[in-house]
């Protein structure tokens, strides 16, 4: 047993996982044993051996930020965790990773998009990172698992219990497939509201970039996107139907400078993982070109149902193409339909 880990685990929990307090103690004292003794002198009750046994009982490994297996990208962020707790494999944590985040109350289309992104990024050898939450997070993890990829779930609580409880089976599948569940909190630490925000900086910090799918104006995923920007990581946003509340936050991110993407290959190209495709030579997808051709041949604005019918596209795909064109100022809304910008 690493003596410093033994006392860090006890001190971190005894300090209530308060980053400011524990960082100050670290700068004032030389070792975690001394820090623990200092906390004990203040009347803090903790039993290091008992706390360490909780880790061993749950099969949890603790990794200091100084260790070689600790993810390099996470070490580089502002406000890095001093250590992380892991259930599952650790070797793959050095592989390139991309985060996928979004609303818990996702639409069926959003769930399918998240699963598609998780699947295709995993096929390209990318580790998929998310928060195991309902909706977009869970779909991204499952997409990765569909093709035998590696995925990381970052929890806002200690790893002795899964949060949310109903995704416990998904966490087990992630570990069984060679992935991992990670937290910066020791066993017994509950998922208090501020810990979801703290968790989000780790989701983005593990990743080359963060893909945002279906985000309303008030969403924890917006915090993840903000952390990614502050960490000098790419922020990618999948647009949705204009006016849909689930995409109001997404579209604001795009207007603020986030990269607009419509499919996983866009992310891989922007991260220089694959070569740019010919499809993107003029910056438009095939679906956008079809919609533009239809609108250019109409003397009157066309509604979404008519465009979908004429383009022979799924409603979701047609909606996405229209939103992309609106955001690029290629088309405009006129009355109850769409027409080309003059």
Per residue in 318-338, pLDDT (tens digit) is 887 888 788 777 888 888 788
Half-sphere exposure of 51 (CA within 13 A, CB side): 22
Nearest of 198, 252, 257 to residue 223 by alpha carbon:
198
Helix axes 304-311, 315-327, angle to 10 degrees: 110
Q: Who contacts 293 (Cβ-Cβ below 8 Å, separation ≥6)?
A: none
CATH 1.10.10.10 domain locations along the chain? 282-340
Strand partners, 260: 237
Q: Which segment of 77-86, 282-291, 301-310 scores lowest on mean pLDDT?
A: 282-291
Alpha-carbon torsion (273, 275, 278, 283), positive or negative: positive
Q: Which segment of 20-34, 56-70, 88-102, 219-233 scores lowest on mean pLDDT?
A: 20-34
Nearest of 167, 113, 175, 108 to residue 143 by alpha carbon:
113
Confidence of residue 281 (pLDDT cuts 50, 70, 90): very low
Q: How far is CA 89 from CA 75, 76, 85, 154, in A?
A: 18, 21, 11, 14
Instruction: Give CA–CA dist 5/62, Å, rounded.
Output: 7
Nearest of 84, 71, 122, 78 to residue 100 by alpha carbon:
122
pLDDT average, residue stretch 28-38: 85
Question: Is 215 a residue whose pLDDT tops 90?
Answer: yes
Instruction: Give CA–CA dist 183/159, Å, rounded.
Output: 7
Q: Which segment of 41-50, 147-156, 242-251, 304-313 scores lowest on mean pLDDT?
A: 41-50
Strand partners, 257: none
pLDDT of residue 42: 65
What CATH number does domain 282-340 carry, 3.90.650.10, 3.10.20.30, 1.10.3080.10, 1.10.10.10? 1.10.10.10
Residue 212 backbone phi and psi in degrees, to 5: -105, 125
Instruction: Give CA–CA dist 209/64, Å, rounded.
Output: 24
Instruction: Give CA–CA dist 235/221, Å, rounded.
Output: 11
Structure tokens at 128: 């998929």
Cis before 335 (ω within 30):
no
Q: Classify each residue of 252-282 as buried b or exposed e, where b means 16 or more C-beta atoms within 10 Å of its C-beta.
A: ebbeeebebbbbbbbbbbbbebeeeeeeeee
CATH 3.40.50.450 domain locations along the chain? 91-276
The CATH code of the domain at 91-276 is: 3.40.50.450
CB of 234 closer than 8 Å to CB of 211 = no
How does DSSP classify residue 89? -
* Strand ranges for 30-126 from DSSP E: 61-64, 83-88, 97-102
Q: What is the average pLDDT score of the chain?
A: 90
Q: Who contacts 311 (Cβ-Cβ below 8 Å, separation ≥6)?
A: 287, 290, 291, 294, 318, 321
pLDDT of residue 133: 96
Structure tokens at 170: 């998904």
- pLDDT digits 0-9 by tens, 156-196: 999 999 999 999 999 999 999 999 999 999 999 999 999 99
Confidence of residue 130 (pLDDT cuts 50, 70, 90): very high
pLDDT average, residue stretch 246-271: 92
Instruction: Give CA–CA dist 182/65, Å, rounded.
Output: 14
Residue with tokens 């880990």: 5
Helix axes 286-296, 315-327, angle to 10 degrees: 80
């Amino acid at each position: 047993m690493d003596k410093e880990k033994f006392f860090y685990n006890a001190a971190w929990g005894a300090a209530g996982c308060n980053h400011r307090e524990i960082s100050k103690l670290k700068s004032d004292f030389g070792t975690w044993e001394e820090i623990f003794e200092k906390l004990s002198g203040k009347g803090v009750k903790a039993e290091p051996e008992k706390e360490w046994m909780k880790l061993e009982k749950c099969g949890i490994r603790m990794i200091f930020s100084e260790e070689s297996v600790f993810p390099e990208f996470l070490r580089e962020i502002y406000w890095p965790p001093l250590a992380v707790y892991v259930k599952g494999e650790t070797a793959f944590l050095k592989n390139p990773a991309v985060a996928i985040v979004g609303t818990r109350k996702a639409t069926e289309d959003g769930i399918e998009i998240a699963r598609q992104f998780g699947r295709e990024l995993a096929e390209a050898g990318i580790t998929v990172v998310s928060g195991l939450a309902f909706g977009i997070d869970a779909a991204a993890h499952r997409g990765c698992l569909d093709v035998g990829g590696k995925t990381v779930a970052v929890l806002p609580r200690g790893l002795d219990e899964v949060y949310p409880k109903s995704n416990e089976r998904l966490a087990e599948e992630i570990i069984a497939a060679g992935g991992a569940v990670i937290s910066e909190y020791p066993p017994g630490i509950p998922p208090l509201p501020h810990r979801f925000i703290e968790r989000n900086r780790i989701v983005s910090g593990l990743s080359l970039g963060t893909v945002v799918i279906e985000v309303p104006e008030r969403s924890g995923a917006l915090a993840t996107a903000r952390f990614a920007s502050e960490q000098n990581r790419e922020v990618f946003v999948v647009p949705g139907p204009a006016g849909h509340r689930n995409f109001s936050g997404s579209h604001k991110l795009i207007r603020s400078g986030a990269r607009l993407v419509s499919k996983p290959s866009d992310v891989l190209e922007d991260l220089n993982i694959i070569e740019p495709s010919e499809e993107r030579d003029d910056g438009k997808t095939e679906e956008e070109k079809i919609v533009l051709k239809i609108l250019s041949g109409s003397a009157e604005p066309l509604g979404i149902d008519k465009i979908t019918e004429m383009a022979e596209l799924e409603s979701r795909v047609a909606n996405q193409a229209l939103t992309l064109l609106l955001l690029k100022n290629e088309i405009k809304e006129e009355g109850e339909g769409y027409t080309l910008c003059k």
